[in-house]
Amino acid sequence: MTSSIFKGTGDDGYTGLLGKGRVPKYHPRPEAYGAVDEASATLGLARALTESPEIAQVIKTIQRDLVKLMTEIAVVDPGFSKFDRFDVKRVKWLEKQIELLEQQVELPSEFVIAGDSPAGAAFDLARATVRRAERHVAKLFHEGEIRNHELLRYLNRLSSLCFLLFLNEYKVAGIEGPSLVSDSE
């Protein structure tokens, strides 16, 4: 008996890609879109924890972008044009969000340690998972498996934005600033 939530088609350790074919679940494409999925999930946690409705809306927009990004990574057939290609407009939008936050937060002069604010820690976790996703997408790009450079640029900018969101949470929470590596106890 097969339920609507599982089909059993992945029980052999393979997964389908968009367009044609199946690959092992450890293939670089599922690794890449899986890492992007993890980044989206951690951003969802951060969105749930932030007290800023404006930031929550920005994160929801980013999560929608990440679904489109994952879809493009999963497409292997160049003729499979059912989905829109990810373009520079999304990168430019993200850069605008970075510019706005840079005006609101003070950049630390040394390395910081997450954990002084639940939402801040969630944004730092998101930053780390976005960086992992970026590494997986970079591998696909450098090996010629994907050709759209905007996917890589978007993830690179997103990790920067996550760092600024991490810092912004301290400001929103009324905390003077994150713990620094040089702080001693």
Domain ranges of the chain: 23-78+86-180
- From the list 180, 172, 41, the residue with the least C-alpha distance to 101 is 172
pLDDT for 98-137, tens place per residue? 999 999 998 887 788 888 889 999 999 999 999 999 999 9
Q: Percent of the chain, pLDDT > 90?
A: 56
pLDDT of residue 14: 66
In this predicted structure, the answer to whether residue 19 has a pLDDT above a threshold of 70 is no
Contact in structure between 68 and 86 (CB atoms under 8 Å): yes
pLDDT of residue 38: 97
CB contact set of 116 (below 8 Å; sequence gap of 6+): 170, 175, 178, 179
Cα–Cα distance measured from residue 143 to residue 121, given in angstroms and rounded to the nearest whole number: 34
Choice between 70 and 26, residue whose per-residue pLDDT is larger = 70
Q: How distant is the alpha carbon of residue 140 from its chain centre?
A: 16
Instruction: Report in angstroms the alpha-carbon separations of 124 from 15, 80, 161.
Output: 30, 36, 10
- From the list 28, 68, 81, 76, the residue with the least C-alpha distance to 151 is 68
Cα–Cα distance measured from residue 21 to residue 14, given in angstroms and rounded to the nearest whole number: 10
Cα–Cα distance measured from residue 67 to residue 40, given in angstroms and rounded to the nearest whole number: 8
CATH 3.40.630.30 for domain 23-78+86-180, yes or no, is no
Q: Which two tokens stand for residue 117?
A: 């604010």
Q: Are strands 179-180 and 112-113 parallel, antiparallel or unpaired?
A: antiparallel
Choice between 28 and 7, residue whose per-residue pLDDT is larger = 28
Choice between 43 and 108, residue whose per-residue pLDDT is larger = 43
The H or E element containing residue 23 is: strand 22-24
This prediction's pTM: 0.86
Average pLDDT, the chain: 86
pLDDT for 126-180, tens place per residue? 999 999 999 999 999 999 988 899 999 999 999 999 999 999 998 888 777 667 7
